[in-house]
Amino acid sequence: MKKTILLVEDNQKLAGFIKNSLTEAGYSVETETRGDKAAYRILKETPDLVVLDIMLPEMDGKQICQTIRNEYTGKILMLTALKDIESEVDSLNLGADDYLTKPVAEAVLLAHIAALFRRPKLAEKIDHIQLGELNIDLIQSKVSLLGTPVEFSPSEFELLALLAKNADHCLNRDNIMYALRGREYDGVDRSIDLRISHLRKKLGDDTQKPYKIKTMHGKGYMLISTAWDGK
């Protein structure tokens, strides 16, 4: 059976070239241009390997790694124009298995992909996120604040986990809908705003001037990593 690859690249000309190369090498290849939709597709389609750009619209490659790595056990190869050491180190620390910079020779890309497929699949998963006094158990879908359990519905927990995985990054309604449901926000559905309101109340945020889950006016929502110190 052919190995499956999801290529996440917003440059359509480059994506077409890479897809042709990988297809000729015997892989089954799909492409995606949006970062937030890629996060959803990776978890839904579970390709054997993801070739992932960093600079993507709506959600960058590093955020995608943060969002999917706990649940996705396949390989992640960063393929990016960013050549700085910090980007490479950050990507690897966030869960990428390999890092290549553009432009890259076709033979080199194919060799790195073949090498990744020789490695065993990732077995260990991140079991929780700790932000100050906020603890999110990703395995059992449980949350505690200041050591006290907080009850959430499945959809509320799902949204909280997404915000926490992307702490200090603003996610708009489209980002959230694509990452969680694989479709765009229709401009009418208020379920996200309602869930945000529930999260704030249950987590002791100031509902008049929220500082734990902030509303970035005209942009979206951001969970602040430094706001969970128990005060």
Residue in the structure block whose two tokens are 């395995």: 139
Please state, in angstroms and rounded to a whole number, the distance separating the CA atoms of residues 28 and 6. Answer: 9
Q: Residue 201: is its pLDDT beyond 60? A: yes
Q: Which whole number is the average pLDDT over 216-229? A: 89
Mention the CATH class of domain 4-118. alpha beta
Give domain limits for the chain: 4-118, 128-227
Q: Residue 230: is its pLDDT beyond 70? A: no
- Residue 185 has a CB neighbour count (10 Å cut-off) of 16
Residue 203's pLDDT band (cuts 50, 70, 90): very high
- pTM for this structure? 0.77
Residue 221's pLDDT band (cuts 50, 70, 90): very high
17-34 pLDDT tens trace: 999 999 999 999 999 999
Tokens of residue 189, six digits: 């559905």
Q: Residue 231: is its pLDDT beyond 80? A: no
29-69 pLDDT tens trace: 999 999 999 999 999 999 999 999 999 988 899 999 989 98
Angle subtended by helix axes 191-202 and 154-165, to nearest 10 = 80
Please state, in angstroms and rounded to a whole number, the distance separating the CA atoms of residues 142 and 99. Answer: 34
Please state, in angstroms and rounded to a whole number, the distance separating the CA atoms of residues 115 and 59. Answer: 27
| Options 1.10.287.130, 2.40.10.10, 3.40.30.10, 1.10.10.10; CATH of 128-227 | 1.10.10.10
pLDDT of residue 95: 86
